[in-house]
Amino acid sequence: MNKQNSLGSALITGAAGGIGKAIAKEFSDSGYKVIATDIVKQPKDLDCDFYIQADLAKTVVDEIYANKIFEKIRTTLDNQSLNVLINNAAIQILRSTDNLTREDWQRTLNTNLLAPFIWTQTFLPELEKSKGNVVNISSIHANLTKKNFVAYATSKAALSGMTKAMAVDLGGRIRINAIEPAAIETEMLKSGFSGKPELYSQLENCHPQQRIGKPKEVAKLALVLSDSEIQFMHGAIIGLDGAISGKLFDPD
């Protein structure tokens, strides 16, 4: 892969999942040096220059472990700046209000909310060197949700809110924005509808576009938000939902 015209370095968390892989490929194809992380071993089809296996939630609660992971990442940067941080990793624990445990809440908030903060805070010096930017992958659940999504929806609402608050707090030091996708066609999503094609069709038809989103669409939007020529895009929360957030589901 030719990186002679590199646009700099991009650090992507949750890179082994469907959206993460698409983001890694999009940034790599566009000329970024991609540093990818996830809790699992490196998938063979992941397009990146460096891969670091890391437990995101553990970097929140274990400072010694976190420093080891951060040092590995800084080694790959080789004293250079970091241009983009994509906080993509997330977990989704689906339980009702009656059944959510303290551990469920801790795992959800550590991974989906506190890790994006800690990682942004940690790499702020490297991001400032390049006047870089952060893209948080939030969710439509930040605003519109359904049963059993209490922990996940709360964490994503907080992530979107934190994005705006950090943009105000950081001012012009770096840029930080968020994407709120609706249903995206990943292997994880499709596996949840295995053997239930009629329900999958219902999900598609709920969206005014009569389809769900593609991982590449999230990746392309993340790339656009990282464009150094649109510096005024700061503290923005961008919906990527096929217009479903504007649709009433009352009977016609």
Residue 2 lies in a domain: no
Residue 199 lies in a domain: no
Pairwise CA distance, residues 9 & 34, whole Å? 6
Residue 104 lies in a domain: yes
CB 225 within 8 A of CB 177: yes
pLDDT tens digits, 48-98: 999 999 999 999 999 999 999 999 999 999 988 999 999 999 999 999 999
CB 59 within 8 A of CB 71: no
Query: Which two three-digit tokens encode residue 41?
Result: 């071993």
pLDDT tens digits, 189-246: 887 788 888 888 989 999 999 999 999 999 999 999 998 889 999 999 999 999 999 9
Maximum separation of any 2 CA atoms in the chain, in Å: 60
Query: Which two three-digit tokens encode residue 245?
Result: 């957030």
Q: Structural domain of residue 121, as residue ranges? A: 8-182+214-242
How many domains in the chain? 1
Buried b (16+ CB within 10 A) or exposed e, 13-28: bbbbbbbbbbbbbbbb
Per-residue DSSP letter, 110: I
Residue 126 lies in a domain: yes
Residue 131 lies in a domain: yes
CATH number of the domain where residue 237 is located? 3.40.50.720
